[in-house]
Amino acid sequence: MSKKRNTYKEFFGIREQNERSKITDDDIEALKVYNKELEKTADIQKQMMGENELEEAELINNITDYQGGVQYMLRDPAMADNVAEEIKQFAIKKKIYPVKHRKSKSRRAGYFYFRLGDDPAKESQQLQGYFSQKPEIRYFRFKVMQDPQLRPNRNV
């Protein structure tokens, strides 16, 4: 049996460990230095990101807030047409049909109104996931805007 075992070990290059590997004081010091450097790197990354960006990354839109309307703010207004087209294509692919789309005069803000389907919770999750992963979109929220014709007249 030992002849087969030795042949197997020689073929696959396996060696038995008769003694445990010993950790020296130099290894411990190297690990301490490594941990300190790792903490410094994490602190630098936090400073570079800033607190505002960390808060915006959170998904604060609730599923129950979704009534068909989504407002969004872009980082670069030059990308407004491309982003709107990508959102339309994604929504249609997921069988969420856009009814209305508006852009602000500065083209930085946009609004989509989607037809509510059979499962608004699923639609809101899909839209929230898509909007949150788009790097061009700074932030978004679920909000239905009324048409100017439907707003009550304040002069009366």
Q: What is the pLDDT of residue 92?
A: 92
Nearest to 66 by CA among 123, 118, 112: 123
Tokens of 76: 């670069």
Q: 6-20, 73-87, 122-136: which range is least confident on average?
A: 6-20
How many domains is the chain built from?
2
Owning domain of residue 73: 60-142
Residue 124 has pLDDT above 80, yes or no: yes
Confidence of residue 65 (pLDDT cuts 50, 70, 90): confident
Tokens of 15: 């060696």
Same domain, 54 and 97: no
Are 103 and 64 in the same domain?
yes
Torsion of CA 123, 61, 100, 155, to 10 degrees: 140
Q: Is residue 132 part of a domain?
A: yes
Residue of 144, 131, 143, 142 lying closest to 57 (CA atoms) = 131
Give yes or no: residues 46 and 120 share one domain: no
State the pLDDT confidence band at 28, using cuts at 50, 70 and 90.
Answer: confident
Contact 128, 61 (CB under 8 A): yes
